[in-house]
Amino acid sequence: MPESPLLITREAAVLVLTINRPDKLNALDAATLDALDSAFADASADDTVRAIVLTGAGPKAFVAGADIAQMNGLTPVQGRDFSLRGQRMMRRVEQMPKPVIAMVNGFALGGGLELAMCCHLRIAADSAKLGQPEVNLGLIPGFAGTQRLLRLAGRAAAMELCLLGTPIDANRAQSLGIVNRVVPAEHLLAETMKLANQLADAAPLALRGIIDCLNVGGECGIEEGMAYETAQFGLMFATDDMREGTSAFLERRKPVFRGT
């Protein structure tokens, strides 16, 4: 029986998903995309999961790209379907109602950077390399890399990374807004779990509202985005968590949020 392309573990309310193809630098083939899609669907429906960490197995790579060996034999129609498969899975991640952290422990290239960019937060080891090198294969990014890179880093940086295909280091990626934090490689796991546990303790419905507002606002005009934010803000007043949070503040104690 082949080894699973995805390892799934739990640490209290934090779900950890590890892409488990270290011999292939965790390259994304169809089976891995499907396993990720299924795992995120399950996590979305599981009320005991409050935050998710996504990473890659082994010391070298988060995800070094899509599986070139698999792509090499695809027809144009199959190539289009492979692109749609990846885009659907990554859109699911982007629209998750719970925060997803990409723990970038090494190479995040091509589909790997695209996967990291669809997560809500990205924390990278100082040794990580990130880029969109598809042009060197006679390809373009196919999992929405051009679109998310444009939105995260701006037109100039997106043009540079996609046209030149040259990876950048984690510090430059942070300066461009592609990653949120850069930490020494030996501290990456501890710092990521610290962040994940902070999110797991936060108010789940408020986190979901924030994610929704930012996703909607990033794809519409400001007036529409403001109206959506106002509607979400009003909905928070129907939650027990809002009463708990404001009461805890007034009583000078730590709130206990239950997602209701």
Angle at 204 between CA 256 and CA 10, to 5 degrees: 90
41 in Cβ contact with 76 (< 8 Å): no
Q: Which of 14, 32, 10 is nearest to 22 (CA)?
A: 32
Task: Enumerate the active-site residues.
Answer: 114, 134
End-to-end CA distance of the chain: 42
Sign of CA dihedral 42, 180, 209, 116: negative
Q: What is the DSSP letter of 97?
A: S
**Whole-number Å distance between alpha carbons of 213 and 228:** 7
Token couple for 135: 């042009």
Query: Can you tell me whether residue 242 is helix, strand or coil?
Result: helix
User: Which DSSP string do the residues of 61-88 spell out, in sequence order?
Assistant: EEE--B-HHHHTT--HHHHHHHHHHHHH
- Is the Cβ–Cβ distance between 143 and 86 less than 8 Å? yes
Amino acid letter, 185: A
User: 41 CB contacts (<8 Å, ≥6 apart)?
Assistant: 92
